[in-house]
Structure 1
Amino acid sequence: MTEKVRVSWALGDHEIEYRWVLEEAPAGRILVFLHEGLGSVSLWRDFPDRLCRALGVRGLVFSRWGYGASSPRRPWERWGPDFMHHQALDFLPNFFRALGVEPGRERLWFYGHSDGGSIALIYAAHYPEGLEGLVLAAPHVLVEEVTLESIRKARQAYLEGDLKPRLARHHQDPDSAFFGWCDAWLDPAFRTWDIRPLLPRVRVPVLAIQGYEDEYGTMLQIEEIARLAPRVELVKLHGCGHSPHRDQPEAVIEAVRQFFQAEGWARQDQG
């Protein structure tokens, strides 16, 4: 069951859909799930529940503005190349405040998928207080042509194929979700988007996961993270595309469990 909270931030006042996972877990740590460019609470399916049970930690799942059952983006509103910076540096602190989450009092981990992984990195570079670590699945740190080509194909599938009705099962306004993401990435100004200069400032441990068959990015993305950030472990998965938690959930859960255990607090069993 999801709830909603009103978040006031630089881009407006928005109702944000969210849900807590494994609320009976010990207080003090929260695993925050940051979805991909077309994601939502419902598109995670049961993965947050499975991962939080494996770790014995409370989770927080939400749909960003424009997605799921959160306030939709109005048709004339456009997200610029800095939209992920807005999410990381303005929205997230205000979202946490609206929920009564205090980084530092609560120790945070992020599980960021795709754009969500990029948002996690931007946040970590600027707000280290209370942050213990990151799990990044298919994150982006620079723009590759393979990414843009796949987004162009997705746009054609949305306009001419069955992508729109499929997304409508997870977003109250699928146009809001799709074109907010698609138009931002395909904006010519986005080609120079590059967050690699921030990576040396990410001091927390990072687990970066990438599939060899990812149609939206290559191994360069996580290899650049490992080259530039000080504490990075890589997991490269065969037979895995852009959504490791859907393509290989057991492998991802086990990799995260071992990573958290190495940091000294994840429980030994998988729940």
Structure 2
Amino acid sequence: MTDLQTPGILSHDHWIEHPLGRIFARSWTPSNATAASRSDTPIVLFHDSLGCVELWRDFPANLSAATGRRAIAYDRLGFGKSDARTGRPALDFVAEEATAYFPIVREQLGFQRFIALGHSVGGGMAIHCAAAFTADCEALITESAQVFPEDRTLESIAVAKEQFKDETQIGRLAKYHGDKARWVLEAWTESWLHPDFASWSLAPVLPSVSCPVLALQGIHDEYGSTCHPEMIGQLSAGPSQVEILPDTYHVPHRENPGTVLNLVSEFLDSLR
């Protein structure tokens, strides 16, 4: 169907059958794409801890328009329109996305090569996917990704946990996650604030990322200092570009969309 917010972009909804439940996905493609551009490697978006396809809003469609590529986003199991999960995620849930879920998404949506773009914890998942599938990942783009549980990160999550004691806040989350909203919140707060999660780090994973990397972060990000994109750039094995965005907080693609789209487009154009 035609995307109403972004003229010239066609969107299509998909359902992915996973042994643990159905996963919802949506793809966006330029309507005037040539046969050659339709075969371009798609950009796969990995959402943040409270996110889902709908919360990307118009960014995937605008990303598709700006780059001329297909963009794909999916709701992780337990989020958005995807089926509910029964228990809390294991503490290795960031790595688990690359082993237990993303391979089935790739298989059922029919793509092998990909460009990974992840926001916040989705950036960590994108890093794991780039490291796990080095032959197929053409590029990695992280946005506000955390490399380890920094004090600033944990303090902001603890503040958010207190704020969500207000049922109005849960109601806003339920708009996107339905009756899974409480699970979504606790999957975030109780995982990151768990004492055993303190040792989690992407530092051992990043040297396995051999593709070109673009690491984006807002200078005022309340969930992490600039040490995170700097570590991503320094520890990745391939060529890297780190961009710290002025007047920007934790959600650059919403707070500063024009700059993000330009940086991503220029980065991907340089790969061609």
Cross-structure match for 2:250: 242
The answer to whether residue 22 in structure 2 is matched with residue 15 in structure 1 is yes
Task: Name the SS of the counterpart of 2:176 in structure 1.
Answer: coil
Cross-structure match for 1:27: 39
The answer to whether residue 271 in structure 2 is matched with residue 263 in structure 1 is yes
2:206 to 187, 199, 208: 199
TM-score, length of structure 1 as denominator length: 0.90
Provide the C-alpha distance between the structure 1 equivalents of 2:85 and 2:182, rounded to a whole number of angstroms. Answer: 9
Cross-structure match for 1:268: none
TM-score, length of structure 2 as denominator length: 0.90
Measured after TM superposition, the shift of residue 259 of structure 1 is: 0.6
Amino acid at match of 1:59: A
Q: Is the 8 A contact 1:132 1:205 kept in 2?
A: yes
Amino acid at match of 2:183: S
Amino acid at match of 1:218: S
Provide the C-alpha distance between the structure 1 equivalents of 2:270 and 2:56, rounded to a whole number of angstroms. Answer: 26
Measured after TM superposition, the shift of residue 4 of structure 1 is: 2.0
Task: Name the SS of the counterpart of 2:21 in structure 1.
Answer: strand
Provide the C-alpha distance between the structure 2 equivalents of 1:130 and 1:180, rounded to a whole number of angstroms. Answer: 30
Task: Name the SS of the counterpart of 1:22 in structure 2.
Answer: strand
Provide the C-alpha distance between the structure 1 equivalents of 2:74 and 2:136, rounded to a whole number of angstroms. Answer: 20
Amino acid at match of 2:60: P
What is the aligned length?
254
The answer to whether residue 120 in structure 2 is matched with residue 110 in structure 1 is no
Change in Cα spacing, 1:243 to 1:182, as seen in structure 2 (3 Å) is same
Cross-structure match for 1:53: 65
Cross-structure match for 1:269: none
Amino acid at match of 2:92: D
Provide the C-alpha distance between the structure 2 equivalents of 1:49 and 1:7, rounded to a whole number of angstroms. Answer: 26
Q: Is the 8 A contact 1:68 1:171 kept in 2?
A: yes
Provide the C-alpha distance between the structure 2 equivalents of 1:208 and 1:84, rounded to a whole number of angstroms. Answer: 18
Measured after TM superposition, the shift of residue 23 of structure 1 is: 6.0
Provide the C-alpha distance between the structure 1 equivalents of 2:100 and 2:158, rounded to a whole number of angstroms. Answer: 29
Cross-structure match for 1:140: 146
The answer to whether residue 84 in structure 2 is matched with residue 84 in structure 1 is no
Cross-structure match for 1:121: 127
Provide the C-alpha distance between the structure 1 equivalents of 2:90 and 2:190, rounded to a whole number of angstroms. Answer: 9
**Per-residue CA distance 1:5-61 (angstroms, 9 max, x = gap):** 2112xxxx2111111111644124111010001100100000000011100001111
The answer to whether residue 230 in structure 2 is matched with residue 223 in structure 1 is yes
**Per-residue CA distance 1:44-102 (angstroms, 9 max, x = gap):** 0000000111000011111101110111122xx1222201111112210122122233x
Greater relative contact order (CA < 8 Å, ≥ 6 in sequence): 1
Percent identity, aligned pairs only? 33
Q: Is the 8 A contact 1:33 1:59 kept in 2?
A: yes
Change in Cα spacing, 1:176 to 1:23, as seen in structure 2 (3 Å) is farther
Unpaired segments of 5 or more residues in structure 1?
A: 265-271
CA root-mean-square deviation: 1.4
Cross-structure match for 2:176: 170
Measured after TM superposition, the shift of residue 125 of structure 1 is: 1.4
Amino acid at match of 2:136: G
Task: Name the SS of the counterpart of 1:133 in structure 2.
Answer: strand
Amino acid at match of 1:83: F
Task: Name the SS of the counterpart of 1:20 in structure 2.
Answer: strand
The answer to whether residue 145 in structure 2 is matched with residue 152 in structure 1 is no
1:183 to 180, 190, 213: 190
Cross-structure match for 2:77: 65
Provide the C-alpha distance between the structure 2 equivalents of 1:21 and 1:188, rounded to a whole number of angstroms. Answer: 40
Provide the C-alpha distance between the structure 1 equivalents of 2:56 and 2:172, rounded to a whole number of angstroms. Answer: 14
Provide the C-alpha distance between the structure 2 equivalents of 1:54 and 1:164, rounded to a whole number of angstroms. Answer: 34
Q: Is the 8 A contact 1:30 1:109 kept in 2?
A: yes
Q: Is the 8 A contact 1:118 1:141 kept in 2?
A: yes
Larger CA deviation: 168-177 vs 47-56: 168-177
Task: Name the SS of the counterpart of 1:79 in structure 2.
Answer: coil
Measured after TM superposition, the shift of residue 161 of structure 1 is: 5.6
Larger CA deviation: 203-212 vs 81-90: 81-90
1:3 to 14, 24, 39: 14
Unpaired segments of 5 or more residues in structure 2?
A: 1-11
Task: Name the SS of the counterpart of 1:197 in structure 2.
Answer: coil
Amino acid at match of 1:162: T
Runs of 4+ in 1 over 4 A off after TM superposition: none
